[in-house]
A and B are shown apart, each in its own frame.
Chain A
């Protein structure tokens, strides 16, 4: 059956360090993958999209990689700040336009 796993439910790091979040999937052939941020009491907010033929995407302090052989995406936040504390969701998309979300990883950046 299709499955999306995000590395852990919670990740705690020190301010200034790089946070690395993992999204693994099985039995999918996604056309592209997205990462979202969700703060408590709010809806998810889009961060980055990476297509199946792209290896890496960057946006400011964010970097996403996509390895379709390993069936894995890594999401990095460099020079992390307490304001980066949130839950991060990965979502796999087929060409049919349907998104399937992982359960999310809650990141806490300590000052």
Chain B
């Protein structure tokens, strides 16, 4: 198995531009998580999906952030418009979840976003 795949690995953009991060979870996993990691705030959960349905998006910082999971094998995290304070490493993770117990999460390599 290739593991969780994220693209791009690095993204440099200018303030105000739209940024789209992509994630392909491990085949067979039904939960998908988007995290953001910075030195100041550590690893923060932004949103997670079960069976393609958003369950908890309380970590999404602002309306500028949106996430979709159109099918079991693909998810996007979009920032529009981007701001310098959005600069961070964004991780996608997937796991198996069944009725109250989730399996361990497998993380992708992350996307390092720099907003100038």
Contacts and interface: CB of A to CB of B under 8 A. Distances in A.
Contacts, number: 56
A49 B103 CA distance: 9
Given A93-B102, A97-B50, A97-B97, A43 B108 contact: yes
Please classify the interface of chain B as helix (H, G, I), strand (E, B), loop, or mixed, using the class held by over half of its residues. Answer: strand
B34 interface: no
A30 interface: no
B42 A101 contact: yes
Interface in A15-41: 31-32, 34, 41
Contacts of A31: 100-101
B104 A43 contact: no
Contact of B31 (A42, A97, A103): A97
B102 A97 contact: yes
A45 B104 CA distance: 9
Interface string B76-116: 00000000000000010101010011101111111000000
A98 B35 CA distance: 12
Contact of B110 (A42, A49, A93, A102): A42
A44 B108 CA distance: 8
B104 A103 contact: no
B18 interface: no
A43 B101 contact: no
Interface of A: 31-32, 34, 41-46, 49, 89, 93, 95-104
Given A99-B102, A101-B45, 8 more contacts: A42-B109, A42-B110, A46-B104, A97-B101, A98-B56, A99-B105, A102-B42, A103-B42
Interface of B: 4, 31, 33, 35, 42-43, 45, 48, 50, 55-56, 91, 93, 95, 97, 100-102, 104-110
